[in-house]
């Protein structure tokens, strides 16, 4: 008997790199097994009309293309919006979307700065029936997903330390042209932290590891880049950030080292997490995406790292055999399944790792704001939490 699926009609605002990723994930929804929900992209918007051509050619369900995002918000057939635009536009477009009563999947950092993030959170508070989440796909890699489960199961004993990072290297090339991600006006003063930081924080914040204080070391390495005409212009944003945080949970205190780097030679989209504990340690990196390493320990016993190929076992079952590999676009598909599942089924969603919440983005903004102050003053700075 055919399963009746709840269809979620999406409008996409911002048809660049990430807008296309979502459209591709929606196009292969049949990859996922036995779901009772399904996204359908019915409208797209980009100020650059040429960016919508790909959608017109490849997404037959699109009935509306527009350069004015307000037309998406006014469209009765749109239930939810995916918004993937430069950071300086997050506050305006996210708030307008929420006020229009459309569910929202926003991109990080969820506001260009703390004030913008607060404006988005205020709008959510005023419209409690609107469902809002923020994109962050790396925890859906099978190895990362397993580590998050192990943390929640309390396997690690006393935490010794945590290290997590997200590293890129294409900016090592001084000839790479400038774009909006290298300008403070469009990317924000956080620089690489705003761009990459929520990815690094998603699992730590989810399991309650909120930094209490931070000492930040921020680097600007390439200070000029060519523009479209080949003239050198300032490259203003922080390239790399190392954040030494101290975490206190109810019963433990431990150091957590977070790093976001645009210039980590040799690394292309390397996301990793390493948790060391007195009873168990574990490590996963997208550099070696099948491999999950762990070290169980009992007093006086041997200390041996074990490595297993976890392959294709993520949150939502898929047609891909468990023996096959898992990649970036699979993580995007899994994240979208989590968003749609929670939107349709709420707390009864099929698995419990939900997408990053607005409150988690707010915690990340508080950390990045404190990190900027730490860099300015050379001091360790206390992070102002939402709820202490
Ligand atoms: N989750 C991830 O892994 C990931 C990866 C890259 C980027 N991002 C995030 O996604 C967002 C977009 O980044 P991107 O890499 O897709 O950028 P992009 O530059 O490839 O695409 C942005 C698009 O927004 C369009 N745009 C600008 N102003 C607009 C407006 N007023 N209305 C409609 N469209 C408008 C641009 O023309 C462009 O096509 C950012 O928040 C970024 O941080 C997330």
CA atoms within 13 A on the CB side of 38: 18
Say yes or no to pLDDT of 2 above 70: no
Does ligand 1 lie within 6 Å of residue 338's CB atom? no
Q: How far is the CA of 18 from the centre of ligand 1 (A)?
A: 6
Are 225 and 177 spatial neighbours (Cβ–Cβ below 8 Å)? yes
| 108-133 mean pLDDT | 98
Name the phi and psi angles at 116, rounded to 5.
-65, -40
Q: How far is the CA of 305 from the centre of ligand 1 (A)?
A: 40
On average, the pLDDT of the chain sits at 96
How far is Cα 380 from Cα 375, in angstroms, rounded to an integer? Answer: 9
Are 91 and 114 spatial neighbours (Cβ–Cβ below 8 Å)? no
Task: Give residue for tokens 């433990």.
Answer: 252
pLDDT in tens, 142-177: 999 999 999 999 999 999 999 999 999 999 999 999
Mutate-to-test residue for ligand 1 from 52, 86, 88, highest number of ligand atoms within 8 A of CB: 86
pLDDT in tens, 241-287: 999 999 999 889 999 999 999 999 999 999 999 999 999 999 999 99
Q: How far is the CA of 22 from the centre of ligand 1 (A)?
A: 12
Does ligand 1 lie within 6 Å of residue 92's CB atom? no
Are 110 and 205 spatial neighbours (Cβ–Cβ below 8 Å)? no
pLDDT of residue 1: 55
Q: Which atom of ligand 1 is nearest to the CA of 18?
A: 16
Q: How far is the CA of 57 from the centre of ligand 1 (A)?
A: 20
Residue 344 parent element (H or E) = helix 328-345
352 secondary structure, DSSP code:
S
Q: Please tell me the total number of residues recorded for the chain in this structure.
A: 388
How far is Cα 285 from Cα 265, in angstroms, rounded to an integer? Answer: 16
Q: How far is the CA of 21 from the centre of ligand 1 (A)?
A: 11
Residue 147 parent element (H or E) = helix 142-152
Does ligand 1 lie within 6 Å of residue 186's CB atom? no
**23-27, 98-102, 248-252, 371-375 — which is least confidently predicted?**
248-252
Q: What DSSP line would sit under 187-253, residue for residue?
A: H-TTTHHHHHHHHHHHHHHHTT--EEEEEEEEE----EEE-TTS-EEE--S--EEEEEEEEE-SS-E
């Amino acid at each position: 008997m055919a399963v009746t699926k709840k269809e979620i009609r999406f409008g996409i605002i911002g048809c660049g790199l990430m807008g296309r990723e979502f459209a591709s994930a929606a196009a292969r929804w049949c990859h996922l097994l036995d779901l009772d929900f399904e996204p359908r992209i019915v409208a797209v918007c980009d100020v650059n009309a040429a960016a919508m051509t790909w959608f017109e050619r490849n997404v037959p369900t699109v009935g509306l293309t527009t350069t004015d995002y307000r037309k998406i918000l006014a469209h009765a057939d749109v239930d939810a919006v995916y918004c993937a635009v430069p950071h300086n536009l997050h506050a305006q477009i996210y708030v307008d979307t929420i006020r229009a009563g459309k569910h929202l999947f926003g991109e990080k950092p969820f506001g260009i700065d703390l004030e913008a993030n607060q404006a988005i959170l205020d709008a959510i508070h005023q419209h409690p029936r609107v469902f809002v989440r923020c994109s962050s796909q790396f925890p859906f890699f099978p190895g990362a997903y397993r580590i998050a489960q192990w943390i929640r199961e309390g396997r690690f004993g006393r935490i010794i330390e945590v290290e997590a990072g997200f590293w890129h290297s294409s900016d090592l090339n001084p000839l790479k042209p400038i774009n909006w991600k290298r300008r403070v006006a469009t990317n924000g003063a956080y620089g690489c932290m705003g761009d990459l930081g929520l990815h690094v924080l998603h699992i730590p914040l989810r399991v309650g590891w909120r930094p209490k204080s931070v000492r930040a070391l921020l680097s600007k390495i390439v200070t000029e880049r060519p523009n479209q005409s080949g003239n050198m212009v300032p490259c203003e944003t922080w390239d790399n950030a190392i954040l030494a945080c101290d975490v206190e949970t109810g019963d433990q205190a431990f150091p957590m080292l977070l790093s976001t780097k645009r210039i980590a030679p040799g690394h292309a989209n390397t996301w990793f997490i390493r948790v060391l504990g007195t009873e168990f340690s574990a490590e996963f990196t997208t550099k070696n995406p099948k491999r999950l390493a762990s070290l169980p320990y009992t007093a006086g016993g041997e200390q041996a790292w074990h490595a297993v190929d976890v392959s294709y076992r993520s949150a939502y079952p898929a047609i891909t055999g468990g023996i096959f590999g898992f990649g970036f676009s699979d993580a995007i598909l899994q994240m979208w399944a989590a968003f749609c599942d929670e939107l349709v089924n709420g707390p009864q969603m099929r698995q419990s790792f939900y997408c990053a919440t607005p409150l988690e983005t707010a915690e990340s903004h508080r950390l990045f704001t404190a990190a900027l102050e730490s860099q300015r003053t050379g001091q360790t700075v206390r992070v102002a939490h939402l709820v202490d």
